[in-house]
Amino acid sequence: MSEISVKAVHAFDGLITPVGETRPAGVVVSERTELALAAVLARKRRAGDLAALVANEFGCHLPAPARRTEGRDISVVSTGPGAWLACREAGGYGFAENLAETMQGVASVTDQSDAFAVLRLTGPRVRNVLAKGIHLDLDANVFLPGHAAVTQCGHVGVSLWRLDDLAGGDAAFEIAMFRSYAESFWHWLSVSAAVYGLAVAAGG
């Protein structure tokens, strides 16, 4: 294996830019460029083993449908029956490979690190913006931290999950879409958030 000699271009490079009045901004966005992702599909009749393995290896529950859990150096989002998206910060292309080895025989693992573009959206008006594209009830008392959904946003298929609120109390969501939709999604987001002001935070 040799060193990567070329430069990565992330999904929102060249797109992500502040919109409207940003002092203060109603919404703050950043791209999660370093998040490694892997689709995890439980093998037949091995879901229990997979849950045990995840608990042992990563110290977290395998999330129930429409939920997300966090473990040691990993988070896991439910994306469908027997299907999860495993995420690791700065996991690189080795993440899926290692996970496949760890889960050998109990789950099928496929690298999706570049397949999804992931944005983190926070700010006092984040729910107002999401309400323009997502038909789910994202009320603070309904869609709690640790809740997740596979849905549509402005005609683009997305996975969505809520993180713990920021220190200041603002809600935080992450939203993942197939990368080829980034340009269209950005158009939707920038138009929808313009009235509240959209600021860009450092990625990561």
Partner 1 sequence: MSQPFRRSSGGHIDRTQPITVSFNGKTLHGYRGDTIASMLIASGSHLAGRSFKYHRPRGILSHGSDEPNALLSVDWRPEKGEGRRDPNNRASVVEARSGLKTATQNHWPSLETDIGAVNDLLSPVFVAGFYYKTFMWPRKFWDKVYEPFIRKAAGLGDAPEVPDADRYANRHAHADILVVGAGPAGLSAALAASEDGSKRVILADEGFKLGGALLNDVTSEIDGKPAAVWVEEMVAQLDARENVIVLPRTTVFGYYNHNHIAMVERVADHRDNAPDGLARERLWQVRASKVIIAAGSHERPLVFENNDRPGIMLAESARAFINRYAVLPGKSLVVATCGASAYRTALDAKAAGMDVKIVDIRLGEDCGPELAEARSAGIDVLTGHTVVKALGTKRVTGVVVAPLGNDGSVGTRRTLTCDCVAMSGGWTPSVHLFSQSRGKLAFDASLDAFLPGQSAQEEVSAGACHGIYDLSEIIADGYKAGGSDTSVSATATFTGFQPVRVLPTDADPKKVKAFIDFQNDVTAKDIKLAVREGFESIEHVKRYTTTGMATDQGKTSNMNALGLVAGLLDRPLPAIGTTTFRPPYTPVTFGALVGPSREDRFEPVRTTAIDPWAVANGAEFEPVGQWRRAHYFPKAGEDMHAAVARECKAVRTSVGIFDASTLGKIEVVGPDAAEFMNRIYTNAWAKLKVGGCRYGLMLGENGFVMDDGVVARLAEDRFHVTTTTGGAPRVFQHMEDYLQTEWPDLDVFITSITEQWAAIAVQGPNARKVVEPFVSDIDMSEGAFPHMAVREGFICGVPTRLFRVSFTGETGFEVNVPVDYAEAVWKTLYEEGRKYDITPYGTETMHVLRCEMGFIIVGQETDGTATPDDVGLSGLVSKKKPDFVGMRSLARPDMLLPDRKQLVGILAKDPNEVLEEGAQVVEDPSLPVPVPMIGHVTSSYFSSNCGRSIAMAMIKGGRARIDQTVWVTTPKGFTEATISTSVFHTVQGEKVDA
Interacting residues with partner 1 between 17 and 76 (CB under 8 A): 39, 41, 43-44
Quick check: 148 and 85 in contact, CB under 8 A? no
Question: Alpha carbon 176 to chain centroid distance?
Answer: 5
CB of 138 to partner 1, least distance (A): 8
**Rounded CA gap, 70 and 130, in Å?**
24
Count CB neighbours of 4 within 10 A: 9
Strand partners, 39: 85, 110
The letter for the amino acid at 154 is: G
**Rounded CA gap, 131 and 146, in Å?**
19
Q: Is 135 in the site for partner 1 (CB under 8 A)?
A: yes
94: three-class secondary structure by DSSP: helix
Q: Is 3 in the site for partner 1 (CB under 8 A)?
A: yes
Burial status of residue 182 (CB atoms within 10 A of its CB: 0-12, 13-18, 19 or more): buried
Per-residue binding string, partner 1, 105-124, x by CB under 8 A, is ---x-xxxxxxx--------
Counting every residue written for the chain, the total comes to 204
CB of 52 to partner 1, least distance (A): 19
Q: Is 89 in the site for partner 1 (CB under 8 A)?
A: no
CB of 59 to partner 1, least distance (A): 25
Interacting residues with partner 1 between 161 and 190 (CB under 8 A): 178-185, 187-188
Sole window of 47-55, 59-67, 70-78, 134-142 interacting with partner 1 (rule: CB under 8 A): 134-142
Q: Is 202 in the site for partner 1 (CB under 8 A)?
A: no
Q: Which residues bind partner 1 (CB under 8 A)?
A: 1-11, 14, 39, 41, 43-44, 93, 108, 110-116, 131-132, 134-137, 139, 142, 154-156, 178-185, 187-188, 191, 194
